[in-house]
C-alpha cells in the first residue's frame, strides 16, 4: 500500500514537472498568471543562488503576484537543482557570462540581484542594458558614486530600480509609520536603533572589504540608518560617529566592527544608533515623541516583528516578509503603485550617502553635514 502511494506520488510529481517544461508550452504560460485575478505575475530571475536567495525563493512560493522564472548562477549544479525545484525551464537558466541574453527572454520582467555587495553595481547596469527591471539587495552598492551610476543607468534604460528593503512592507513597521503620520506620537524628538550580531567565519566575503565595501555598517547598521529615516519621517542633515575595534585581526582595515553614530534632523529630532558585528541581541528600534512612543523588538529580523506603543500592542499577523515584499514589488513594477515607504534606487542612494558620511565622521572625528 505504502509503495503504491509512493509510486502514485512520484508519477504525479513528474507529470506536474513535465507539464510545465518549455517556456512556450501552454501550461507554462498559464502558470505565469495569477489564477484568481488572471493577471500576469511579475516574472523574476534570481541572480546569486546563496543563502538569502534561498530564503527569497522559498518565500516566493507563497506569492500571488510574483514568480521565479529565471536563474543566474556561476554553479551549473545549482542551476540544475534550483531549476527543477522551482520549475524554471532550461532556456531561462543563465551564468554570469551569458546573462545579457535575458534581453530576448519574454519570460523575465525583472532580475533580483542577491550577490555580494561589490557586484551589485556592474550587475545592475548589465541588467538595465538588457531592458529588465532591477531589484537589488542592500546595500545597493559600495559607494554613493556607484549608486548614482546605477540610478542613472536604470533611468537611461527606461527600467525601474528597487532595493530589497523588506521592512518597508512589514505590517507592524507600517503601523508605527502610519501612527507617526497621524500624529499619535506628537512631535518626534528621538530615535534609537540598535543593529548587530556576532559574525562567525572570519573568511566570509562579508569581512572582505573588496567584496563587502565595509563592515557591519553596510551590512547590518544600514537597518538603523534606513529605520531612522522611515521612523522619524525626515532626512538627516548631519552625522557624528565613533568607532571601536576589539579584534583588528578579524576586522581588518576598512571593515568596521562597531560604530556608534548619531543623526540630526531638520525638526531638531536626533537619532542615536549602534552598528556591530561583535555583539548579539541587538535588533531594537525605539521612537519617542512629545505625546508617546513606539518600540519594535525585534525590529528588523525575519520576524515575527514584535512591539508596542503607548497606545497599544502591535499585533499584526506575520507573513514571510519576502512574500509581502515581492507581491508589493510586482504591483510597483507592473502597475506603478507607490509603496508607503519608498524602495527605489534614490532611497538606496540616500542610505549610501549617509554611510559615507558616517565613515567620514569616524575618520575626521567631527560632525559631517549632509545634503541628501
Instruction: Just list the catalytic residues.
Output: 138, 223
> Toward ligand NAD, which CB reaches closer, 89 or 320?
320
Picking from 95, 50, 93, the residue whose alpha carbon sits closest to that of residue 68 is: 93
205 binds ligand NAD (CB under 6 A): yes
Residues 191/288, Cβ–Cβ less than 8 Å: yes
Supply the minimum distance, in Å, between the C-beta of residue 53 and ligand NAD.
6
Helix %, strand %, coil % of the chain (to 5): 40, 20, 35
Site string for ligand NAD, 23-42 (x = CB under 6 A): --------------------
74 binds ligand NAD (CB under 6 A): yes
Supply the minimum distance, in Å, between the C-beta of residue 188 and ligand NAD.
26
Q: Which of 170, 175, 184, 219 binds ligand NAD (CB under 6 A)?
A: 219
48 binds ligand NAD (CB under 6 A): yes
> Toward ligand NAD, which CB reaches closer, 29 or 119?
119
Supply the minimum distance, in Å, between the C-beta of residue 360 and ligand NAD.
22
Contacts of 177 (CB under 8 A, 6+ apart): 230, 231, 233, 340, 341
Supply the minimum distance, in Å, between the C-beta of residue 142 and ligand NAD.
10
Contacts of 372 (CB under 8 A, 6+ apart): 235, 236, 350, 353, 354
Residue where the block lists cell 519621517:
233
Q: Which of 70, 83, 89, 116 binds ligand NAD (CB under 6 A)?
A: 116
Rounded to 5°, angle at Cα 90 from 84 and 92: 105
**Three-state DSSP state, 194:** strand
325 binds ligand NAD (CB under 6 A): no
Contacts of 128 (CB under 8 A, 6+ apart): 134, 150, 153, 154, 156, 157, 159, 161
Q: Which of 114, 177, 269, 294 binds ligand NAD (CB under 6 A)?
A: 114
Q: Which of 45, 49, 68, 217 binds ligand NAD (CB under 6 A)?
A: 49
Residues 113/56, Cβ–Cβ less than 8 Å: no
Tell how strand 307-309 and strand 293-296 pair up.
antiparallel
What's the rounded Cα separation, in Å, for the pair 369 and 231? 21
Site string for ligand NAD, 164-193 (x = CB under 6 A): x-x---------------------------
CA dist list (Å): 98 to 92, 118, 126, 130: 11, 20, 11, 11
Supply the minimum distance, in Å, between the C-beta of residue 321 and ligand NAD.
8
Q: State the number of binding residues for ligand NAD (CB under 6 A).
A: 19
Supply the minimum distance, in Å, between the C-beta of residue 240 and ligand NAD.
25
> Toward ligand NAD, which CB reaches closer, 137 or 327?
137
Helix pair 222-232, 171-182: axis angle to 10 deg: 40
Stretch near ligand NAD under the rule CB under 6 A, chosen from 50-58, 183-191, 281-289, 310-318: 50-58
Stretch near ligand NAD under the rule CB under 6 A, chosen from 28-36, 47-55, 268-276, 341-349: 47-55
Residue 62 DSSP label: T
What's the rounded Cα separation, in Å, for the pair 252 and 245? 9
Supply the minimum distance, in Å, between the C-beta of residue 21 and ligand NAD.
25
137 binds ligand NAD (CB under 6 A): yes
Alpha helices in the chain (DSSP H): 2-20, 26-31, 51-60, 76-85, 120-129, 144-157, 171-182, 209-212, 216, 222-232, 321-335, 345-364
83 binds ligand NAD (CB under 6 A): no
Q: Which of 69, 92, 117, 123 binds ligand NAD (CB under 6 A)?
A: 117
Q: Which residues bind ligand NAD (CB under 6 A)?
A: 48-53, 74, 114-117, 119, 137-138, 164, 166, 205, 211, 219
Amino acid at each position: 500500500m505504502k509503495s503504491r502511494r509512493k509510486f502514485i506520488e512520484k508519477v504525479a510529481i513528474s507529470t506536474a514537472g513535465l507539464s510545465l517544461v518549455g517556456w512556450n508550452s501552454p501550461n507554462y504560460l498559464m502558470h505565469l498568471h495569477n489564477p484568481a485575478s488572471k493577471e500576469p505575475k511579475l516574472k523574476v530571475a534570481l541572480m546569486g543562488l546563496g543563502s538569502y536567495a534561498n530564503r527569497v525563493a522559498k518565500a516566493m512560493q507563497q506569492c500571488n503576484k510574483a514568480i521565479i522564472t529565471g536563474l543566474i548562477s556561476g554553479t551549473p549544479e545549482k542551476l540544475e537543482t534550483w531549476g527543477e525545484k522551482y520549475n524554471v525551464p532550461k532556456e531561462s537558466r543563465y551564468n554570469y557570462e551569458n546573462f545579457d541574453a535575458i534581453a530576448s527572454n519574454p519570460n523575465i520582467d525583472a532580475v533580483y540581484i542577491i550577490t555580494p555587495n561589490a557586484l551589485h553595481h556592474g550587475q545592475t547596469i548589465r541588467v538595465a542594458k538588457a531592458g529588465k527591471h532591477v531589484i537589488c539587495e542592500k546595500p545597493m552598492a559600495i559607494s554613493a558614486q556607484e549608486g548614482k551610476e546605477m540610478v542613472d543607468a536604470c533611468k537611461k534604460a527606461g527600467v525601474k530600480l528597487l532595493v530589497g528593503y523588506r521592512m518597508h512592507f512589514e505590517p507592524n513597521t507600517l503601523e508605527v509609520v502610519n501612527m507617526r503620520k497621524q500624529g499619535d506620537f506628537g512631535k518626534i524628538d528621538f530615535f534609537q536603533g540598535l543593529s548587530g550580531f556576532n559574525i562567525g567565519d572570519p573568511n566570509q566575503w562579508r569581512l572582505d572589504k573588496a567584496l563587502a565595501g565595509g563592515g557591519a555598517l553596510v551590512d547590518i547598521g544600514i537597518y538603523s540608518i534606513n529605520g531612522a529615516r522611515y521612523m522619524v519621517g525626515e532626512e538627516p542633515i548631519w552625522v557624528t560617529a565613533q568607532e571601536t575595534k576589539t579584534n583588528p585581526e578579524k576586522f581588518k582595515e576598512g571593515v568596521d566592527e562597531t560604530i556608534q553614530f548619531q543623526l540630526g534632523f531638520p525638526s531638531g529630532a536626533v537619532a542615536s544608533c549602534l552598528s556591530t558585528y561583535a555583539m548579539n541581541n541587538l535588533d531594537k528600534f525605539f521612537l519617542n515623541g512629545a505625546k508617546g512612543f513606539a518600540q519594535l523588538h525585534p525590529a528588523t529580523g525575519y520576524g515575527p516583528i514584535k512591539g508596542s506603543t503607548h497606545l497599544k500592542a502591535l499585533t499584526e499577523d506575520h507573513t514571510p516578509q519576502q512574500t509581502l515584499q515581492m507581491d508589493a514589488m510586482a504591483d510597483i513594477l507592473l502597475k506603478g503603485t507607490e509603496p508607503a515607504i519608498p524602495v527605489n534606487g534614490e532611497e538606496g542612494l540616500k542610505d549610501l550617502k549617509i554611510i559615507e558620511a558616517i565613515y567620514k565622521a569616524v575618520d575626521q572625528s567631527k560632525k559631517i553635514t549632509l545634503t541628501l
